[in-house]
Amino acid sequence: MTSIPETLIGLLVYPGFLFSLVVGGLFYWLYRKIKARFQARIGPPCYQFFIDLMKLFSKESITPYTAGSTMLVLAPILSVTGLLLAEAMLPIGSGSVLEFEGDLIVALYLLALPGIAMMIAGTSSGSPYGSVGSAREASLMVGYELPYALSVLTLGFYVKSLSLSVIVRYQLVNGAFFLRYPMATLAFLLCLLPKVGRRPFDAPEADTEIIGGPLTEYSGALLGLFEVVNGLRWFVIPAFAVNLFFGGGANILEFLLKSLGLVLLLSILDVIHPRYRIDQGFKFFLKWALPLSLVDFVRSLVLS
């Protein structure tokens, strides 16, 4: 059992808020840079994400009179909290801040919070674009959460434990899970795209169709909090995948390199694909990702 100051440092500095914000911000910059290079542009400088954050937090926040102001403020906070707590449970490098039996399930729930917060944000902002964005987020979530959870539970059944650290330690000895369960890995990687809100599954925030989606009415510091969420999820969600399927990392450098690889993969997938319509995206998950994860789920049930 760790002491309270240690836990606080773990949550807020390393490997918590500050560390993941910096790494996530750099990963997000990398994504924008890759996108720019693919389009034969130069792209933004590496400090762009942090500059944007500073600017947004120095701006005025307007609450529209049609909006439910409590939920409008709570939604980004809920989102940041969920990502931070999930991040504290991930074993990054050596060990995690919070460790208990069953943290896999808790992490799954916490990583669903950003999506739910997005829905709350959209519906509470009182803007038609926000409502459309939330509806899209909701229907996409119904599609991707099932294969996502199934492919995670595959590992749980295989190692007969619902603890993240047990799964990571098992992989350090016996090799990474993506060799043993390639189909579940594929399904999981497909579900990462809507989790970080990238093409081809970025219909909820499609800026060419519904302005800003759920974030249309957000401004200033509250929008800045959603930028923080954007930065955090570029680190936390690939980190979750690295821990589960790509063997975690014996040290922090190996871990970061593996996450970097995943970020590159997600960025390239984003750049080379157009956007799916919302029903196509929903169908895609039920048609391809769900059967893939089901096959490996059944395999792990039979094998164990």
Q: How many CA atoms lie within 13 A of 245 on its CB side?
A: 25
Interface residue with other proteins among 23, 26, 141, 223 (CB under 8 A) is 223
Cβ 33 to other proteins shortest distance, Å: 10
Q: For residues 202 and 297, what is the distance between their CA atoms, to the nearest angstrom?
A: 27
**Residues in 17-46 at the binding interface with other proteins, rule: CB under 8 A:** 32, 36, 39-45
Q: For residues 120 and 78, what is the distance between their CA atoms, to the nearest angstrom?
A: 10
Residue nearer to other proteins on the CB measure, 106 or 268: 268
Residue nearer to other proteins on the CB measure, 68 or 220: 220
In the structure encoding, which two tokens stand for residue 272, read together?
Answer: 């080379």
Interface residue with other proteins among 87, 217, 270, 296 (CB under 8 A) is 217
Q: For residues 72 and 94, what is the distance between their CA atoms, to the nearest angstrom?
A: 38
Interface stretch with other proteins, choices 167-175, 208-216, 241-249, 263-271 (CB under 8 A): 208-216
Cβ 80 to other proteins shortest distance, Å: 19
Binding residues with other proteins: total (CB under 8 A): 31
Cβ 112 to other proteins shortest distance, Å: 26
**x-or-dash pattern for other proteins, window 56-75, by CB under 8 A?**
--xxxxx-------------
Cβ 118 to other proteins shortest distance, Å: 16
Residue nearer to other proteins on the CB measure, 60 or 274: 60
Q: Alpha helix locations (H) across 99-219?
A: 103-124, 128-159, 164-174, 177-180, 182-195
Interface stretch with other proteins, choices 103-111, 214-222, 243-251, 286-294 (CB under 8 A): 214-222
In the structure encoding, which two tokens stand for residue 109, read together?
Answer: 């729930």
With a CB cutoff of 8 Å and minimum separation 6, the contacts of 78 are 113, 116, 117, 120
Interface residue with other proteins among 8, 18, 46, 51 (CB under 8 A) is 51
Asked whether the CA dihedral 268, 272, 278, 284 is positive or negative, the reply is negative
Residue nearer to other proteins on the CB measure, 32 or 169: 32
**Residues in 95-134 at the binding interface with other proteins, rule: CB under 8 A:** 129
Residue nearer to other proteins on the CB measure, 215 or 236: 215
With a CB cutoff of 8 Å and minimum separation 6, the contacts of 201 are 140, 144, 193, 194, 275, 276, 281
Q: For residues 259 and 176, what is the distance between their CA atoms, to the nearest angstrom?
A: 14
Q: For residues 166 and 111, what is the distance between their CA atoms, to the nearest angstrom?
A: 19
Residue nearer to other proteins on the CB measure, 62 or 303: 62
265, with CB counted inside 10 A (0-12, 13-18, 19+), is middle
Residues contributing to the site for other proteins (CB under 8 A):
32, 36, 39-45, 47-48, 51-52, 54-55, 58-62, 129, 207, 211-212, 215-220, 223
